[in-house]
């Protein structure tokens, strides 16, 4: 009974670039922005998340009516990556409309590692501070997966060593008899 469903008369691209960012205080404010907007893609960051972004990011805060929005192109999707290209005429934000989860994605911008942040309350964004054509890749790699793989490999090696030690002890015991 607490689920609200909203329908949009237009569809936003899966990924896009925008030169303007707006802010909001609470999720209800974001919903109002979406419902009362012009139905074009936009980027919104919750006020509490601004402290995590560089100071230059604040320059993107201007009236949404004047925003530039450019859809991404050249998508390449696999089971754990989303890659695409965007053209940015000015500094701004690249938005990917896939679920945000902190620390569980590796992001590359033109083959260089970069960071991402929460945008539009549920999606991922990348700040770009100068114009250019950007190739973006988001790769799902859970934060603790590397540790889990190392622990699993260590356990496997320990198991092999235990089997070898057991075999060696049994062999010595049989030779002593």
Q: If DSSP codes are grouped into helix, strand and coil, which group holds residue 174?
A: helix
Look at strands 15-18 and 43-46 and give their pairing: unpaired
**pLDDT tens, 92-139?**
999 999 999 988 999 999 999 999 999 999 999 999 999 999 999 999
Tell which wins on pLDDT, 153 or 88.
88
* CA atoms of 102 and 9, how far apart (whole Å): 31
Whether the pLDDT of residue 1 is over 70: the answer is: no
**Is residue 58 classed as helix, strand or coil in its secondary structure?**
helix
Report the alpha-carbon distance of residue 75 to residue 107 in Å, rounded: 15
- In percent, how much of the chain has pLDDT > 90? 53
The CB density around residue 151, as the number of other CB atoms within 10 Å, is 11
């Amino acid at each position: 009974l607490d689920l609200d469903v909203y329908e949009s008369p237009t569809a936003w691209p899966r990924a896009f670039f925008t030169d303007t960012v707006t802010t909001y205080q609470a999720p209800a404010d974001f919903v109002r922005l979406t419902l009362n907007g012009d139905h074009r893609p936009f980027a919104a960051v919750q006020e509490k998340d601004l402290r995590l972004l560089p100071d230059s990011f604040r320059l993107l805060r201007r009236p949404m009516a004047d925003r530039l929005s450019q859809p991404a192109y050249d998508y390449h999707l696999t089971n754990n990556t989303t890659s695409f290209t965007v053209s940015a005429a000015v500094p701004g934000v690249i938005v990917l409309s896939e679920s945000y989860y902190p620390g569980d994605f590796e992001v590359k911008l033109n083959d260089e590692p970069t960071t991402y942040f929460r945008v539009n309350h549920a999606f991922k964004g990348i700040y770009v501070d100068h114009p250019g054509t950007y190739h973006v890749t988001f790769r799902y790699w859970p934060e603790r997966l590397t540790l889990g793989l190392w622990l699993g490999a260590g356990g496997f090696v320990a198991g092999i060593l235990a089997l070898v030690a057991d075999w060696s002890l049994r062999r010595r015991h049989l030779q002593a008899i």
